[in-house]
Amino acid sequence: MRRELRVIALLLSTWLGGCSLFGQPAPSPVTPQRADPSLAVIADHLEMMSRLSQLTPAEQAEIFQGAHAAADAAPTTSNLLRYALALATPGHGSEDLAAASEKLSQLLAGPDTMLPAERALAWVVLKDVEQRLILQTENRRLQDSSARLAKERSAATNRRLQAEIEENARLKRALAEAQAKLDEITRIERSIIERKPANGN
């Protein structure tokens, strides 16, 4: 997760740097640059995501419930984004990629009330969530396919076993019938042998 957050931070800084290069004139050498206030907001969101993925389950639940409650009590863009990011953060029990995707998409499709860095973060996280949803769907498909193949193999094995059981039963019946015929032939031969001396007298 730390690696993902570093990648997001790098993408945001690159994106913001590009915006400043192409969207505004270069600052005067004697004019000090003011810090972008949206970066502090983004840093706070990233810190929340980092803590949400690393702390104990009880602490994670507290952080998540705080983000959820803030979004319900005061549904500002920042609070809604924070809640959506909490839903998207992996490694805690309340992760919900489908809900995160829906909320991030709504924020990005709505009026342009987010700060540029917030919009960039929302876009990056949304794309990550979409890829994870695709992977989840593919994983479920593979699991279902594997389970279906295992079930089919088990059914085929059971059919072969049943066929072998029936064949063994048929062979036993045939052997019993052959033994009965052999016993009858032996009985007849013995009876003939036993009658021969009486005929000779």
Task: Report how many domains make up the chain.
Answer: 1
- CA dihedral 116→117→121→127, nearest 10 degrees, is 40
Is the model's pLDDT at 79 over the cut of 70? yes
Domain-located, residue 193: no
More confident residue, 131 or 39: 131
How does pLDDT run across 15-35, given as a tens digit for each residue? 445 444 444 444 444 444 556
Arithmetic mean of pLDDT over the chain: 81
Token pair recorded at residue 77: 């863009």
Q: How confident is the model at residue 96 (pLDDT cuts 50, 70, 90)?
A: very high
Domain-located, residue 185: no
More confident residue, 13 or 17: 13
The Cβ-side half-sphere exposure at 18, using a 13 Å CA radius, reads: 8
CA distance 83 to 22: 32
Token pair recorded at residue 104: 């991030």
**Which residue bears the tokens 């089919």?**
152
Domain-located, residue 155: no
Radius of gyration of the chain (CA): 39
Domain-located, residue 10: yes
pLDDT for 37 equals 67
pLDDT for 164 equals 86
CA distance 177 to 136: 61
Who contacts 82 (Cβ-Cβ below 8 Å, separation ≥6)?
45, 48, 67, 70, 71
CA distance 1 to 49: 9
Mean pLDDT in residue range 121-144 = 92
Domain-located, residue 201: no
More confident residue, 34 or 131: 131
Residue 11 lies in domain: 2-23+36-138
Token pair recorded at residue 146: 């594997």
Domain-located, residue 6: yes
